[in-house]
Amino acid sequence: MIALALLTLAAVPAPLTEALSLHAPEGTRVEVSEWSAPSCNATRFEPQPFDGSGRVAVRATGKSCAVWGWATVRLFATQAVLTRTIEAGEPVEGAFTLEEREWTKGAPAAPKLDGATASRRLKSGSVLRELDLRFGPAPGTQVTVRIVIKAISLEQRGVIVSCAQHVCASLPSGKRVSGTFRDGVLVATLEGGS
């Protein structure tokens, strides 16, 4: 005889909401709208990793049962939203406001905005994402590049080139390096002798 476990739509248990909140990305708020699982008087909930709104698989265990169920969640985070359209290369400072918005899968919020410029034209109302921003001087700017290889540090001139999220420069040899731009110098740390 084959026993069938029926999924039941149940009220969302408070411990489930707490478990999902503990496993959500830092700085987010979780709303659980639905919980469906085979019947089990669960007291412990272990959600699978999740990074945005949607369905989350959750292992639920009780005194005499262990089942898998689905929680439908909405994840919210404070995000930077543009208040006006900005052009590529324009600073984002003063062009955004912080609002709580739903966080969709695969769309992490921009981690920092100080000194950021738009990497492309961005429309008013857009939520700023990492790929929308670039940091450091504009492409074509001549800079000093400090190349660090283990205990050796060399400096030479380079020209800033476009690259997503990083500050990159092209050296006279044609090699491209990326690194951290501070105090007017691009510091690029290379592994081995690359």
The whole-angstrom separation of Cα 68 and Cα 35 is 11
> 5: Cβ–Cβ under 8 A, 6 or more apart, which residues?
38, 39, 67
CB 162 within 8 A of CB 154: no
Q: Which two tokens stand for residue 191?
A: 């592994």
Query: Could you tell me the domains of the chain?
Result: 7-74 (no CATH), 77-135 (3.90.1210.10), 142-190 (2.30.30.760)
**Mind listing the pLDDT tens digit for each residue in 43-60?**
999 999 988 899 999 999
The whole-angstrom separation of Cα 45 and Cα 67 is 10
Question: What residues of the chain score a pLDDT lower than 70?
Answer: 1-10, 106-111, 164-165, 192-194
CB 127 within 8 A of CB 145: no
**What predicted TM-score, i.e. pTM, was given to this entire model?**
0.62
